[in-house]
Amino acid sequence: MIKHIVMWNVEGDTPERKHTNRQLIKSEFEALKGQIPGLLTLEVGVDHSHVDYACDVVLYTEFDSQESLDAYASHPAHLRVKQTLGSVRIARHQVDFVSTVAA
Contacts of 93 (CB under 8 A, 6+ apart): 6, 7, 8, 55
Q: Does domain 2-98 have CATH number 3.30.70.100?
A: yes
101 falls in which pLDDT band (50, 70, 90)? Answer: confident
Q: Where are the domains of the chain?
A: 2-98
Residue 103 pLDDT level (bands cut at 50, 70, 90): low
Q: How many whole angstroms separate alpha carbon 30 and alpha carbon 61?
A: 11
Contacts of 23 (CB under 8 A, 6+ apart): 46
CB-CB contact of 63 with 75 (8 Å)? no
pTM for this model (two decimals): 0.93
Taking the CA of residue 78 as centre, how many other CA atoms within 13 Å lie in the half-sphere pointing to its CB?
A: 15
* Nearest residue to 28 via CA among 49, 10, 12, 3: 10
pLDDT digit string (tens) for 28-65? 999 999 999 999 999 999 999 989 999 999 999 999 99
Tell me the C-alpha distance between 37 and 81, whole Å.
Answer: 16
